[in-house]
Amino acid sequence: MESELTPFAALKGNTAVVTGAARGIGFQIATTLQGAGMTLLLVDRDGDELDRAVKDLGEGGPVVPVVAELTAPDGFAGVESALGTVPPLRVWVNNAGVVSHQDVADVDMAEFERVLRVNAETALRGCQVAYRAMREETDADRAIVNLSSLLADKALPQRLSYATSKTAVETITHYAAQEWGRFGIRVNAVSPGYVDTRLTAWPADDPRQVAKQEAVSTLALRRAGSVEDIANAVLFLASPMAAYVTGTVLRVDGGWHLA
């Protein structure tokens, strides 16, 4: 049995929202927060994948799935409604996102705007929903964690749209942390480097995979990250262990920023 003296005991029995939770990093974040004893409110646009995620989480704890297209005008309505059926909200993780690959000269404006809507606008709207749900709970630690990317700081070919959206996520993080700190709401971001997920499982001869392997070989730790690496960083920022941490972008990149 988990000791009540562990630094994550304060999370137990409370609710965490994770967007983009059906697969990859989002699913691992959900798994890790469930392991800390949290009730999960999982959000994804893909109902079939979300059903599989709930099944895979098994009997580890209460899970409430919400199928939602977060870019829609009423995309968060189902989430807000579900918040009324679960224990107090203590953790909100904005993980929903898409990738895009286009040379700068060829960037299509519709695609550029789509990536910004999915990655940045939904993060902002998620922060706003979390703030409204959390601001009156002044007697407890509350945390919002946004998923950024090291590409916000480090340029790679064909990543302009994605990198721009993640730069916006970091700016949202800084402003929300500054404005909401007086309510005791902490807002931070995790900035992953190369992480092995289904989205990055390219064929060996794919130029993106070749570039990835070359880049990984230059990292201080000489390996790509795992979804567990990212989820553990989120757990830290979500927990009272990070009670004096806000407005921070935590790099989880194996030393990529040093290369």
User: What residues act catalytically?
Assistant: 162
| 39: its two tokens | 């009730």
Cα–Cα distance between 189 and 158 in angstroms, integer? 23
For residue 24, the 8-state DSSP code is: H
Instruction: Tell me if 147 sits within 8 A of 237, measured CB to CB.
Output: no
Q: 199: closest CA among 123, 147, 234?
A: 147
- Using only C-alpha atoms, what is the Rg of the chain? 18
Given strand 63-67, what is the order of strands in its sheet? Answer: 63-67, 39-44, 15-19, 89-94, 142-147, 185-192, 249-252
Instruction: Tell me if 121 sits within 8 A of 57, measured CB to CB.
Output: no
| 164: its two tokens | 């721009």
